[in-house]
Amino acid sequence: RFCTVSNLATIINAKVPALLRNLESLGFEGLTHDYILDQENATLIADDYGFEVVLNDETGIDIFPEPINELLLQTRAPIVTIMGHVDHGKTTILDYLRNSSIVDQEHGGITQHIGAFSVTTPVSKKSITFLDTPGHAAFLKMRERGANVTDIVVLVVAGDDSVKPQTIEAIKHAKKAGVQMIVAINKCDKPGANPDKVVADLSRHEVDVEDYGGDVQVIRVSGKTGLNMDKLEEAIVTLSEIMDVKAEVEKVPAEGWVIESHLKKGLGSVATVLVTRGTVKPGSILVAGQTYCRVKSMKDEHGKVVRAACPSKPVEVWGWRDLPEAGDSVIQAKDEKLAKKVVDNRANRAKTIDEAKDVDAINKMRKKQRDEVDRLKKVEELKKYGLEGTAMNAAAAEDTCKQISFIIKADVSGSAEAVKESIAHLGNDEVKVRVLYDAVGPATETDLERAKTSGSSILAFNIDTPKDIERKAFTAGVDIKSHNIIYHLIEEVTEILTSNLAPEV
Ligand code: GDP
């Protein structure tokens, strides 16, 4: 994917100086034979030399959702997230709903937390799926990754506390996500509850409550006593019917979202998948993020084996090669061969992005090194022409230069060297890097002591720092900067140098 100018010259049968001149005329500045070109630029140049570049088209392979076939759409259960201020009763309401569903289904056992659960409403006998992690963090984390899982947000507001900062935040999130909202005024069993005040406060925060002629339903409930919880469930069903939530159940590749994942002792990687389209069955091949699985078995939140998971059904799925992440989108592949190809390509693409950034850092580092050599040559020349005073000035300038000191700790000696090389030449006449020493292995107490006495920061590359050392470093006021990607480390060191420059006057 990358090649140097000299590599490219060999491939296209050109002389390096001629190629460099040509590159300059194409707009590249100050290039050298060892400059690393990316695929796009290399292709451009090869093209200019009359070579046809054939890219390995397998690198583009991925699976994309098929267009929706309106004729196959069927009503599905709405997917609901509970949000609201801390202590307003989100967990209590979820617990009540979960327990009522156990009684309904005569499972009697304990419902396991798998990230979501389904209930059947007491009156209309319709199904609702609740996401089991209340609060904004989970909702936002999924949305950040592009996962639009929720159809409806139930905004819980305590009747005795009314609208609070996190209530306002939840309103904002729901609006921004374009998700429909239902208000549950909770703790209405309490004598101090004042639901009318809550309604007034909500309308002041631009919630279009039905009490004031809007279309946001408001239900006065108690998660503790169960007061009006059936009304809340029916309100959700009514809204979902108005919204007309639908999905194809058959004849399309299955799709969904990973909502939770973890390693189970002896069982391997397990992920809860919320199916949004199609049907997942044992034997289905699913791709999620950079991993895939042939579904070994599926279980619901009651630990019951599921043979077919339709849209809005949350199931624990066994059989993943690696652990997928919450928020990963899931899509069915027609066979394992394709799944493997897609996953490999996704991993390669991610790697290319990181490598491209590394390449950029290396090119910049080389330019700095060359500039430094040029500067030293100039000083030598000045000396030769008897202009030692000027040279002396340069040396004097060197003396007043501020040095920022670092200790490098890395996983292997090769990377310790690489880090040292990439940062040693950073800086300018005012501020420079000084590498106190570099060594292999995690930071130790000795490193901390030396860092403290010398005023150095520790750079940990590709290696974890033990927790107790981190704590000791914090108390001793020693900075440990950990990185796995070299250009991130270079950026950080550059920032430290910049922050040490004298302010401009
Ligand atoms: P969360 O932080 O929003 O999940 O709130 P919790 O569900 O943990 O509830 C916070 C406190 O309020 C707990 O002590 C609950 O027992 C109490 N609580 C929750 N719902 C009700 C309710 O409807 N009535 C009464 N009286 N107390 C409630």
pLDDT number for residue 418: 83
Question: pLDDT digits over 249-300, tens only?
Answer: 999 999 999 999 988 878 789 999 999 999 999 999 999 999 999 999 999 9
Token digits of residue 156: 């819980």
Q: Read off the pTM.
A: 0.65
76 lines ligand 1 (CB under 6 A): no
What is the 184 CA–ligand 1 centroid distance (Å)? 13
Residues 6+ apart with CB under 8 A from 39: 1, 2, 55
395 lines ligand 1 (CB under 6 A): no
Residue in 325, 304, 322, 306 with CA at minimum distance from that of residue 268: 322
Helix, strand or coil, per DSSP, at residue 452? helix
Residue in 460, 102, 116 with CA at minimum distance from that of residue 299: 116
164 lines ligand 1 (CB under 6 A): no
What is the 240 CA–ligand 1 centroid distance (Å)? 27
Token digits of residue 346: 């996704």
Residue with the smallest CA separation from ligand 1 atom 7 is 89
Q: Measured from the CA of 186, which atom of ligand 1 is nearest? A: 23
Higher pLDDT, 463 or 350: 463
Lowest mean pLDDT among 174-178, 195-199, 361-365, 476-480: 361-365
Token digits of residue 357: 């950034």
pLDDT number for residue 109: 58
Q: H or E segment at 483?
A: strand 480-483
Question: pLDDT digits over 110-130, tens only?
Answer: 678 899 999 999 888 999 999
- Measured from the Cβ of residue 449, the count of other Cβ atoms closer than 10 Å reads 13
Read off the pLDDT of each residue in 321-344 and give the average, rounded to a whole number. Answer: 92
pLDDT number for residue 8: 85
Q: What are the backbone angles phi and psi of residue 421, rounded to the nearest 5°?
A: -60, -40
What is the 410 CA–ligand 1 centroid distance (Å)? 49
Question: pLDDT digits over 422-475, tens only?
Answer: 898 888 878 889 998 998 899 999 899 889 888 899 999 989 999 999 999 998
Q: Measured from the CA of 84, which atom of ligand 1 is nearest? A: 3
What is the 82 CA–ligand 1 centroid distance (Å)? 13
Q: What share of the chain is helix, strand, coil (3-state, %, to 5)?
A: 40, 25, 35
Q: 432 vs 269, 371, 393, 450, CA distance in Å? A: 48, 14, 17, 19
Q: What are the backbone angles phi and psi of residue 5, rounded to the nearest 5°?
A: -60, -40
89 lines ligand 1 (CB under 6 A): yes
Read off the pLDDT of each residue in 24-38 and give the average, rounded to a whole number. Answer: 81
187 lines ligand 1 (CB under 6 A): yes
Maximal C-alpha separation, the chain: 100
1 lines ligand 1 (CB under 6 A): no
